[in-house]
Structure 1
Amino acid sequence: MLLRKDLRLLAALRREIRGYAPGFLLPQREPHGALDGELHQLATTPADVVALQVDRLLTLARAGQASGPSTGVTTIAAALEAGEQSFVQRVASELHQFWRGFMAERWEGLRCRMEADIRHRGASMASRGLSATLNSLHPAVSYDSGVLHIRDERSWKVFEWSRMVLHPSPLASTWLLRDDPWDDGGTHLVYPVGPSGASGGDPAAGPVAEGELGKVIGEARLLLLSDLGSSRTTTELAERHRMSASTVSYHLLRLHRVGLLNRVREGSRVYYQRTPEADRLVARRYRRSLTPQLAGA
């Protein structure tokens, strides 16, 4: 895909990054996710940092190539010959082209799935603990006695004292690890996110952003979700909709697990309210239901 769009330097970097990735490729995140700011950080990386980190990447890449340099190594080395500033400006330009051509239209859906997974992992960490949460990331990943083990055709150990950042990705098909031996940016573990937005989500709920919402999540859950524009407790919802508290609690748990509800405890009471993603789904459904009436008015 990258080569078809002539993003050759980006394709070469993607091919040669195995474990170590230059830290300048992971700029500090801007408030509100401002892409232009992050690309500006990348494009203005100091020359000495670029030279040092690209040299590390090329050294590691060449070490694994007994039959001579690959096309990726050759492309990266040739781009660096034009100067470090030119190199990072080209990377930033190709990333911008990739965003505009492949990611911009898909971003809202991808972001919602990642945010839902982050909420799911946070809730899992609070209720089940660190070990159970890390063990649920991917079949190849396991955590025991302060060490994160990753076992398949590649094998890694990451120790507890290492700083680790977890990245849920709807685009990844397996785990990806950036384990920086020079600690320029810590250890980053990418793991795949399923279509429900959380690996531990309710499989019966399905892809909530598609199709008729009531058919996807069930009419009872849709009824409760529609009433949670304001925060309410299980007891309040049971009284308002003439359901048993246990039935309401069951539905709320499933809605919370797939990222459609936020949950906040205040003393002995637990309040539920729709997430921004759920607000958009309910609003979209409401607009669709009004369309025939407005058309005939």
Structure 2
Amino acid sequence: MHLTAEVMAATRFAISPLLHTLLVLSPENRGIRGFGLERLNVGGALAAQELHLLSSLRQRVSTCSPLVPVNPDPHIECELQRMCEAPTEWVAREVEALQARGPVAADLAGLTQGGGKPFVQRLSAELKAFWGRNLAPLWPMAEARVEADVKHRSSVIGKLGLGAALESLHPSIRYCKNVLIFEGGQNFDMSKVGRVTLCPTVATSRVSVSIDPWDPQEAMVVYPAFRRAHPGDRARTGGGSLEGVIGYSRSLLLTHLGIPRTTTELADQHHMSPSTVSYHLAKLHRIGLLKRTRVGKSVYYQRVRSTDAVDSLSGVKELC
């Protein structure tokens, strides 16, 4: 994604309870822990509340759906209202796409008739019911986490600029020379994008990107909210201030470099590509946080003893 000066100036953070709801419903996000989510039996909750449409569609509705506003609102009622106001052509297109992915239960088939408006109204009502009983009680803690993430990223922007904050979002994201690179094969036409909305969440460990079908100038990047290191990790990486300077990805790598490791070992351990790990290690080595040793055909990296010295990061601008 190429970011012009205008796009960077319009980039913002946002919090979306509807986004969290959809991510919790998605089977792809099983295993998410914290905030009581690990105790939530989604299938059982849907059955107990007789939310038949969500039960039928939970493996097919995604955060990239045309029915999901890319322009989030911190109040789920407003987001669901906007969903109900989706243009008829978008509703019809989404209904058609959902039907192509699998049959809708017979008792729900009538909802897809007449342009699908009954469908989206029922979907909105069931999402509100699921949210109210299962997620609303947990939301204050989750909201505090995502608000803390926004505060943390804002601090990074203030110290190092938006580019450093963007690269710190997730190990699969790289930013260099006004280009935001997403690993994992996500390709989008960003030529018309005029604003990027960054949405932290506690309900996924992955990054996703979507373009608003209502307005191609709006793009949304969903990423896992910043998790503060455990006290032991902060000691090993030189404290939270160091993490704030070098970013999440590089701090994570430093944490596991108390002993010599190769690029391949780190890539396997952190589920990152070798090229991304190599890129981060080169930056860390350049500013003196790592030492590099060649043994035969392998190159080993290890954290230097005084990674505590943030004040000595004279080469921090080279982190680009």
Shorter chain as denominator, the TM-score bin is 0.5 to 0.7
| TM-score of the pair, normalised by structure 2 | 0.49
Structure 2 gaps of 5+ residues are 1-41, 246-320
Are positions 1:9 and 2:53 aligned together? Answer: yes
Q: Is residue 2:219 matched to residue 1:192?
A: no
Once the two structures are superposed, residues 134-154 of structure 1 have per-residue CA deviations (whole angstroms, 9 ceiling, x without a partner) of 1111121222333322112x3
**Which amino acid is the alignment partner of residue 54 of structure 1?**
V
- 1:99, 1:187 → 2: CA distance? 25
Partner of 2:138: 106
CA distance in 2, matches of 1:188, 1:74: 34
Structure of higher CA gyration radius: 1
Contact 1:10 1:95 in 2 (8 A): yes
Residues 26 and 11 of structure 1: CA distance in aligned 2, closer, same or farther (over 3 Å): farther
* More relative contact order, 1 or 2 (CA 8 Å, 6+ apart): 2
Q: Does 1:203 align with 2:203?
A: no
Q: State whether residues 199 and 220 of structure 2, in contact with CA within 8 Å, keep that contact through their aligned partners in structure 1.
A: yes
1:240-285: CA deviations, max 9, x gaps?
A: xxxxxxxxxx99969x99xxxxxxxxxxxxxxxxxxxxxxxxxxxx
TM-score (norm 1): 0.53
1:204 aligned partner, one-letter code:
P
2:66–2:213 CA contact under 8 A, matched in 1 = no
Letter aligned with residue 178 of structure 1 = S
Describe how 1:56-67 pairs up with structure 2 within 5 A: 56-58=93-95
Post-superposition shift, 1:110?
0.3
Q: How does 1:1-297 map to 2 (within 5 A)?
A: 1-2=42-43, 3-5=46-48, 6-10=50-54, 14-17=58-61, 20-23=64-67, 25=69, 29=73, 33-43=74-84, 45=85, 49=87, 51-58=88-95, 69-71=101-103, 79-81=111-113, 84-152=116-184, 154-157=185-188, 159=190, 162=193, 163-180=195-212, 183=215, 186-193=218-225, 198-199=226-227, 201-204=228-231
Maintained 8 Å contact 1:7/1:94: yes
Q: Distance in 2 between matches of 1:76 and 1:35?
A: 24
SS in 2 for 1:156: coil
Deviation at 1:123, TM superposition (A): 0.8
Query: Which amino acid is the alignment partner of residue 4 of structure 1?
Result: A
- Determine the C-alpha separation between the residues in 1 that align with 2:107 and 2:69: 17
For residues 176 and 107 of structure 2, the distance between their equivalents in structure 1, rounded to whole angstroms, comes to 41
Residue 78 of structure 1 deviates from its aligned partner by 5.1
For residues 20 and 73 of structure 1, the distance between their equivalents in structure 2, rounded to whole angstroms, comes to 23
Q: 1:96 to 1:27 in 2, by over 3 A?
A: farther
Flag the 1:171–1:183 CA change in 2: closer, same or farther, 3 A.
same
CA contact (8 A) 1:17 1:57 kept: no
State the secondary structure of the residue aligned to 1:16.
Answer: coil
Letter of the aligned partner of 2:155 in structure 1? A
**1:171, distance to aligned residue in structure 2 (A):** 1.0
SS of residue paired to 2:231: coil
**1:8 CA drift (Å):** 4.0
Q: CA RMSD in A?
A: 4.0
SS at match of 2:187: strand
CA apart distance, 1:97 = 1.0
- After superposition, the Cα gap between the structure-2 partners of 1:28 and 1:202, relative to the gap in structure 1 and judged at 3 Å, is closer
How many pairs align?
198
Query: Aligned-pair distance for 1:157?
Result: 5.0
1:132 counterpart letter in structure 2: A
CA 1:88 to 1:181, structure 2 compared with 1: closer, same or farther past 3 Å?
A: closer
- The residue type paired with residue 53 of structure 2 is L
Which amino acid in 2 is paired with 1:170?
V
